[in-house]
Amino acid sequence: MREIFTEALNQAIKAQDKLRMGTLRLITAAIKDRDIAQRGAGKDPLTDDEIRQVLTKMVKQRQESAKIYEDNGRAELAAQEREEIAIIEEFLPAQLDPNAVEAACRQVVADTNAQGLRDVGRCMSALKERYAGQMDFARASGVVKELLR
């Protein structure tokens, strides 16, 4: 994935797309920061799945910021955050729609033979393995809990 970001940044520089350049630089900086933290802990550089997690976190941060900006009457800043979200999401797998998330949760509950709320963690681990970067796991957790009640 690192090569993809480098190539996309080079294209944005050639096209003089300032917003895209800035967003891609933020992405590469976030990845480098995590790599440095990993190195300090004696671990290997980030894998592609871990990079997707970083991107997902960046999207959530921007969604929260956009909401705060909208609540405070700063529509232009909220719009900029949403544009950055669109750029970051280009590098993430397509998100599952709510019906597909519910179907995936039902399948995992059946596959793991989950019986009650004590099995939520096991179900969520299975979902994260199968659908990394493809769904909002906070929402999925709510669906799994509802299914196991």
Q: Name the least confident of 12-16, 39-43, 64-68.
A: 39-43
Read off the pLDDT band of 11 (50, 70, 90): very high
Residue 84: per-residue pLDDT = 95
In order of their start, the domains of the chain are 2-89 (1.10.1510.10), 98-148 (1.10.10.410)
Q: Average pLDDT for residues 43-47, to the nearest whole number?
A: 88
Residue 131: name the closest of 97, 106, 96, 98 by CA. 96
Helix (H) or strand (E) holding 54: helix 48-71
> Could you tell me the pTM of the whole model?
0.75
Task: Give how far the C-alpha of residue 25 lies from the chain's centroid of Cα atoms, to the nearest Å.
Answer: 17
